[in-house]
Chain A
Amino acid sequence: MSLQWSGEQVVAKFPDVQANTMAVDCMGVWVALAGRRAISMVNLKKPKEKPLKSARQSKWDVSCVQWNQVPSHLNLFVTAYNQKLDLHSWKDSNITSLCSMKGHSRTVSDVSWSPSDPNKILSCSVDTFINLWDVNDPRKPVRSFQTVSGAYQVKWNRLSENMFATTHEGELRIWDIREGTSPVQYIAAHLSKIHGLDWNPNSKSELATCSQDCSVKFWDINNPRQCKGSLNPGSPVWRARYTPFGQGIVTVVVPQLRRGDNSLHLWNTARSNPVHQFVGHQDVILEFQWRKQPEGSVDHQLITWSKDQSLRVWKIDSQLQKRCGHDMGEMNDSSENESSQGGRESVSQNSMHENDLETDHGNKDFQRQMSMSPDSVVFQQPQTLEQEFELMNTNIPHIQVEELDAVKRTCSVSAVSRNFNIGLRMQFPENYPCSEPPTFEFLESNLNYDIKRQLHKVMLDTALMHAKRNTSCLEPCLRQLSLALNQPYNFRPEERKTPDPEPARPFNLSWHPTKPPYNSKPSYMAWHSPSGLQDINIPFPRTSGARFSAAGYLVVFGRSHEARKGPSGTEITPKALYDLTDFASKSRNRYPPKLYSIPFHQNYSISPPTPVAENVSISEWYMYRPKVTNQPKGKRKHRPKESTEVKPVLAPVKIYDSSCLLPIQKELGKNYIIDRSNIPAMCSHNAKAASAVGRKDLVQLWSLVALTASEKLKPQNNPDDELPWAQHPFGKEMIKYLFDFYMKIHDVQTLAMLVCVLWDRENAIVPPPKKEKASLLPQSTSMEYVPPNMDNPDFLSSSTDSGWLTAGSNLLKSFKTLTSHLQVHSTRPPPHTSVQSRLPSQHHLSEVSSHPDLANMTGVLKIRRSNSLSCLEDSFEDYRIEDEEGIKEKESERQAKIHENNCRLLDPSAQNQYDVFLMSYADILFHWGYTNNSKLVLKFMTHLPEPHTGIEFGVQCFHCSQDGRGAKCGSCKNLAFNCSICHIGVKGNSMFCLKCGHGGHTTHILDWFKENSQCPTGCSCRCVEAKSEITM
């Protein structure tokens, strides 16, 4: 913030200077800082240099210091302390004490040099005397003026050399040194004590007083009975001083009351409104003075000294001067721009002064501050409904305001556009805008109910949002309505193509390098652009969060300790981004709202400028600090500097290892072994591993599992011999409890391991595939007859096992066989690396590959190959056998089955759940990077992941043109597949086009297709494009 202004605003900190008053010499070079211990001199041309100090030996504080006002005697200055005045000369970096003037019997409260006579000084004291001194005769005052009450302030008239003014409690007295010892004018100025007094530099009869009664009053001494005007800053005013330009006045509030507001305010006296606030001092401002500017300089500078021991130089450039009514007598090119802006700004009576602002392209910072300052226009709050109606900008697209009736408290509008025509009536309750939103009523419209309801909701939401803040909402509601009506997707009554409304400019949350020129957009638009209002729907940004990531990590991001919870620190974080926009306006004036209730106070700019609406950053929200009210002084020093950088708002992103909160252990994932061949050894190893990580429960568990799964307890084949161990309370039941427990604590690791040990895939219940039932039924018989040339021993054995089975009676079993049969195939290594080659019929391949039931198809295909007439005959025999022995078989089989079930430790009906345990655990292992263990676990799944097999590519031998499989041709024993590039047979990895079937060594083909898209053989197949045509 202040970074942009570092060139303009000088902040010089002098931590070792303890001065309670300050004075700027009449040429604007030297600043005298006077305190009890020393008088320090600061050269304003080199403000960062160490001040030149001159020690003072006194037990009294300097109550005031003032430089001679006459340039010929500019090195003279006077200090007042206790009852005395000291005259000093500042020359060659030395302070020489010239003389001392003692005439008061009480502490001198103020001094004033004559603006014209370099020898004359006035001093006043509560001892009721005002003394006029001639520095050439310091022994006694030249004249003494006595009053009945003590004098507090004295000021020589800047234009009339004989006239001065003094203040006495709430009274003001005007004196003429020629007119004897009584004042020429009495003015009963204020009801409370007058703190400050200043003559108008442009008028010899006008002066300003400021008082404890919270007002600044302007007087014409020729008309003492009536005050010419007043300002109401809302707090007791400590000092009010005219600006050397225009009609401005600078005020600062009384120290005791202004904790929390250490800023100066610049007012335009003609319009009685504050136009600027100077924010920066962290403590009470002790003194402020204008620095005389060199000839020809347009800017003015205000020098301030504060209790925070910093001297600040504020630049008042032409724009600001203009705001104070200073006529620069020059208008530049952008005045047109401004006047167009004026039309919009008619909403705000207080912003009118902005219209005559000129814009200076050379000063962008300020330009932005001016043109984008939203608070000066929009967030000015009307007090009554009548006011709101008056101030409303009725220029809203599509909306026509028909009637505004402040008495009936209603407003009627009509919205007419291409597609719609709506009449809307708003009724404002008595309490509006305080927490009560207006009601909306559609009078007539061609919109359907749904859209009306939506529109109503949009408006009501807006109104509620405003009502929450007790702000008026008529215009925002109407604008929201206009916006909503324009939304292309929601509110189109008919399907007609309308040109999209101008894309709303997103509300920029932070700095962007390519910002549009600031003056290109009138301030009004910055606030009432559709996007600004759209932000009502956008949630307030999350600025902190915790995310569980990967396996066991917790990533936490957030704001730093310094960042507050928002402007007030206590409220609930707002919900919409719009609130941030709203805040942006408020943050600009940096008032603690409670101190100032008068609405137009928000109507001015501040320096250093805070980023404006266009530009407000979410960080601002959190760095905004209302002035601290009751903080002990000691703490203040530690507060961060005013220049709020963004960085401190961010806390570093922290990654926590939260694995201790999880029921699973990474160590165990690594160390657990799965070895079904030696379960006791496996269990003892795993128990040790669990003990190593401190999981005592798992140590017990593994010993239990070892016992349960021990060889001794293996079930007998004969069900009559003994009850299987699984039926024992420590068998199946216990395992079930174990599962329940570990499920409750979400210990998927243990669950998966238990499944690995105890679950047998052979126990799985295989459901009949419903869809294929009909089509596969006749063929299932032929399944038993395995083609003799099949070289798969698994396949053979499974077929012999099921040789006694018959098709019709035990459908389930046979399907089981079918499936296991398929599984045998699916467990084969996937054919990624298997030899692929030219296919005689590509169409056939693509047909197969795109078939949804690839696996089954393959099964069918294979069977088909072995199908023959004799097979069918045999199958009839099967039926015959079944007729005779079927029932008996079934009975014994049922018995066996029951027994088998009884022997199981795990209930097969939950087999899907076991799979999920395994999958989840495998996934976690994968997260941990234990890929091998992960695959190992997956092997125990009942339903293995989708069989990827089924397609095998055949090879048409290059040499003998025989179809075959594998790298070598079955008939000619040559390498069957020839690389199209190097024409050598391919043994290893190959690649080929699915369409034309040509290909070769992977590396060769890859190289080729880097540059080409056509097949290397010249078959004119566009292989690269073909790839996307064929979906695998």
Chain B
Amino acid sequence: MVSVINSIDTSHEDMIHDAQLDYYGTKLATCSSDRSIKIFDVKGGQQTLVTELRGHDGPVWQLAWAHPMFGNLIASCSYDRKVIIWKETNGSWGKLYEYQNHDSSVNSVNFAPHEFGLLLACGSSDGSISIISSTGDGTWDAKKIPNAHSIGCNAVSWAPPINPGDLLDPSGRHQPIKQLVSGGCDNLVKIWKEEDGQWKEDQKLEGHSDWVRDVAWAPSIGLPKSIIASCSQDLRVIIWTNDGNGWTQKVLNKFNDVIWHISWSITGNILATSGGDNKVSLWKETLNGDWVCISDVNKGQGQISDGQRSLS
């Protein structure tokens, strides 16, 4: 039984656009149209407001926690075209770095797997993707993929630091390749690869008929295939799989409303989707490779608004 272990009244003055727990699940960060980011201590069921971060001049769309080996770091992106990285030092939060090199709303931020170092990808409505990296001594470097998606980039997600091709290849392990997937207003899902320090388009996945709202690269636990989920304004969620012979698509489901959020569980066996109808549904891959919905939305249990305590 999926049970609520904590329920936090954020007191945001406007809609919340993202909420994420840190690596250990002890801190919750939320961001909202009220331009603020709030961090709560949720350890052991408590819900203490640790800090409220103000610095954006527009709604804050998305958050990303960095791996704890870099300290307590959180990145935020906003309508105000800025990306801000916040850091906790001695218990107090402050701005660590502000990136202002986008020409339109920044819609998505995502930290790379820690194996690659402190590396942040940002997707913006100006169509470009920025990859911001820190050398660790306070200087920041940014690479840009211009015109990654012609009208705008809506989501970015990093690939796990494992090359699935290497898994069953006894000849040894190669340095994992930095890869990320992005989705945009050109209805495309694109995979980008870093080669010799340059970001290049590796794949273009065509399958959606409207804006792609979110993409998520599934975590790798050692299976010799890559999996990406994408969701779109066309109401569909597509699971893209590559087992070494190219990408194949499978429509997970066609929903009744826009799906704008997808998230993989840490073992990659469950996909959570949520969208415009305020509902969350959880999907699981069966042993024969089909996807089934495991939360019973019909009974209203998957609905997050009606106070139901269970999801399945």
Q: Which residues of A contact B (CB under 8 A)?
A: 454, 457-458, 461, 487-490, 506-512, 534, 537-561, 563, 565-566, 572-573, 575, 577, 617-619, 622, 646-647, 649-658, 660-664, 743-748, 751, 765, 767, 908-917, 920, 924, 926-927, 929, 943, 1027-1028
Contact between B19 and A573, CB atoms less than 8 A apart: no
Give the nearest-CB partner of B266 in chain A.
A551
Residues of B within 8 A of A561 (CB): 305-307
Contacts of B105 in A (CB 8 A): 506, 538, 577
Tell which of A454, A534, A913 touches B125, judged by Cβ atoms closer than 8 Å: A534
- CB < 8 Å: which of A457, A507, A539, A548 contacts B272? A548
Q: Are B8's CB and A652's CB within 8 A? A: yes
Among A510, A542, A646, A747, chain B packs the most CB atoms within 10 A around the CB of: A542
A-B pairs, top 6 by smallest CB distance, nearest first, are A573-B276, A550-B25, A549-B21, A916-B222, A545-B261, A746-B269
A927, B25: Cα distance in complex, Å: 8
Q: Is B146 an interface residue (CB 8 A)?
A: yes
Interface contact A546-B272, CB-CB below 8 Å: yes
* A650 CB contacts on chain B under 8 angstroms: 10, 12, 15-16
Q: A-B pairs with CB below 8 Å: how many?
A: 325
Q: Which chain A residue has the least Cβ–Cβ distance from B25? A: A550
Number of B interface residues in the complex (CB < 8 A):
105
Stretch at the interface among B29-37, B87-95, B193-201, B237-245: B29-37
Q: When chains A and B are docked, how far (Å) is the Cα of A471 from the Cα of B292?
A: 41
The residue from A461, A507, A555, A618 contacting B15, defined by CB atoms under 8 A apart: A618
Cα A657 to Cα B311 in complex, Å, equals 10
Known: A510-B14, A539-B260, A653-B28. A575 touches B211 (CB 8 A): yes
A107 to chain B, nearest CB (A): 49
- Chain A residues contacting B260 (CB-CB under 8 Å) are 539-540, 542, 545, 573
Q: Are A653 and B16 in contact (CB under 8 A)?
A: yes
A-B CB contact pairs (8 Å), 16 listed: A544-B274, A547-B263, A554-B2, A557-B16, A559-B305, A565-B276, A573-B276, A577-B79, A655-B21, A658-B2, A661-B2, A661-B284, A744-B287, A916-B167, A920-B220, A943-B173
| Complex interface: chain B residues within 8 A of A489 (CB) | 103, 126, 146
Q: Which of A508, A543, A652, A658 contacts B10, CB < 8 Å?
A: A652
Interface pair A573/B5, CB less than 8 Å apart: no
A657 touches B5 (CB 8 A): yes
Partner of B312 from the list A552, A553, A661, A913 (CB cut-off 8 Å) is A661
The residue of chain A having its C-beta at the shortest distance from the C-beta of B294 within the complex is A661
**Is there contact, CB below 8 Å, between B264 and A662?**
no
**Residue from A510, A548, A746 within 8 A of B34 (CB atoms):** A510
Contact indicator B14/A549 (Cβ below 8 Å): no
CA distance A660 to B20 in the complex (A): 20
A799 to chain B, nearest CB (A): 24
B270 touches A548 (CB 8 A): yes
Chain B residues with CB under 8 A of A558:
16, 274, 278, 280, 304-305
Say whether B172 faces chain A, with CB atoms less than 8 Å apart: yes
Q: CB distance A543 to B2 under 8 Å? A: no
User: Which of A461, A662, A920 has most chain B Cβ within 10 Å?
Assistant: A920
Q: How far is the CB of B13 from chain A (nearest CB, A)?
A: 5
Considering the complex, give the chain B residue whose CB is closest to the CB of A556: B304
B125 touches A537 (CB 8 A): yes
Picked from B5, B168, B279, B312, the residue with its CB within 8 Å of the CB of A912 is B168
Asked whether B30 lies within 8 Å of A546 as measured between CB atoms, the reply is no
Please measure, in the bound complex, the distance between the C-alpha atom of A647 and the C-alpha atom of B16, giving whole angstroms.
Answer: 11
If A537-B151, A927-B266 touch, whether A565 touches B81 (CB-CB below 8 Å) is no
Known: A548-B272, A655-B21. 6 other contacts (CB 8 A): A510-B34, A542-B61, A558-B280, A561-B306, A916-B162, A916-B167
Contact across chains for A662 and B221 when beta carbons are under 8 A apart: no
Q: Does B107 lie within 8 Å of A656, measured CB to CB?
A: no
Assess whether B10 is in contact with A924, with CB atoms less than 8 Å apart.
no
Closest B residue, CB atoms, query A746: B269
The chain B residue sitting closest to A562, CB to CB, is B305
B41 to chain A, nearest CB (A): 12
The one of A510, A545, A577 in contact with B35, judged by C-beta atoms closer than 8 angstroms, is A510
A554, A561, A909, most chain B CB atoms within 10 A: A554
Whether A653 lies near B30 (C-beta < 8 A) is yes
Q: With CB as the reference atom, state the residue of chain A lying closest to B288.
A: A744
- B104 interface hit (Cβ, 8 Å): yes
User: Are A748 and B213 also in contact (CB < 8 A) when A552-B266, A651-B304 are?
Assistant: no
Distance of A747 Cα from B59 Cα, bound (Å): 39
A662 to B266, Cβ gap below 8 A? yes
User: Which residues of chain B in 257-311 are interfacial with respect to chain A, using CB atoms and an 8 Å cutoff?
Assistant: 257-258, 260-261, 263-270, 272-280, 282, 284, 287, 294, 304-307, 311
Interface check B42, CB cutoff 8 A = yes
B166 interface residue, CB < 8 Å from A? yes
- Contact A767-B172, Cβ < 8 Å, known A508-B58, A509-B14, A539-B154: yes
